[in-house]
């Protein structure tokens, strides 16, 4: 399984790192405070070809930069469900009307669950923040070492 997903995980980690380094926090704050972080994430997720595995590090980077957790849920739902292959299949095999219904459904469901996620976080949990604790750093480092180790293991030949 690792061999099948490592290129997508790596791509997601690289895109997430690029978001963390290249996207200014002031831009994220402006988008988040405008009341449209979900729309901004949708505009990025829908045309982006990203699989479910690769989208997780990207969603984590969005939250780490200051987007609400609900916008990460929007990205996690809309990104993989609207990749180019799926959309072209739906349109060519099921027709244009079904294509638009499918696309509208994905957008609507992702937005609803994004709002629900933020409502839950606001009433139940503290919103995630950057953590600099030693335990957090140790967990992140250990996880990265384990993942890197799994990536370099030889592929099983069943």
One digit per residue, the tens of pLDDT, for the chain of length 158 reads: 777 777 777 877 787 778 778 878 777 777 777 777 888 888 888 777 677 777 888 888 888 888 889 999 999 999 888 877 788 889 999 999 999 999 999 999 999 999 999 999 888 766 555 555 666 777 778 887 887 887 777 666 65
Asked whether the whole model's pTM tops 0.75, one would answer: no
Question: In angstroms, what CA-CA distances link 127 with 11, 32, 130, 156?
Answer: 27, 14, 10, 41
Residue 95, pLDDT score: 93
- Tallying the residues shown for the chain, one arrives at 158
The predicted pLDDT at position 158 comes to 54
Is residue 70 within 8 Å of residue 111, measured between CB atoms? no
pLDDT value for 70: 92
CA dihedral (43, 46, 48, 49) in degrees, to 10, reads 170
pLDDT of residue 14: 81
pLDDT at 63: 86
């Amino acid at each position: 399984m690792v061999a099948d997903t490592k290129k997508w995980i790596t791509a997601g980690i690289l895109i997430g790192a690029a978001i963390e380094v290249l996207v200014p926090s002031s831009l994220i704050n402006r988008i988040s405070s405008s009341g449209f972080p979900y729309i901004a994430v949708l505009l990025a997720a829908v045309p982006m070809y990203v699989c479910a595995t690769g989208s997780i590090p990207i969603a984590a980077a969005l939250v780490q930069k200051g987007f609400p957790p609900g916008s990460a849920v929007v990205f996690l739902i809309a990104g993989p469900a609207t990749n180019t292959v799926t959309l072209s299949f739906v349109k060519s095999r099921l027709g244009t009307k079904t294509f638009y219904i499918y696309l509208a459904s994905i957008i609507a469901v992702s937005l609803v669950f994004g709002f629900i996620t933020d409502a839950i976080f606001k009433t139940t949990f503290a919103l995630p923040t950057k953590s600099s604790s030693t335990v957090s750093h140790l967990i992140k480092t250990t996880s990265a070492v384990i993942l890197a180790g799994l990536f370099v293991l030889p592929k099983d030949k069943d």
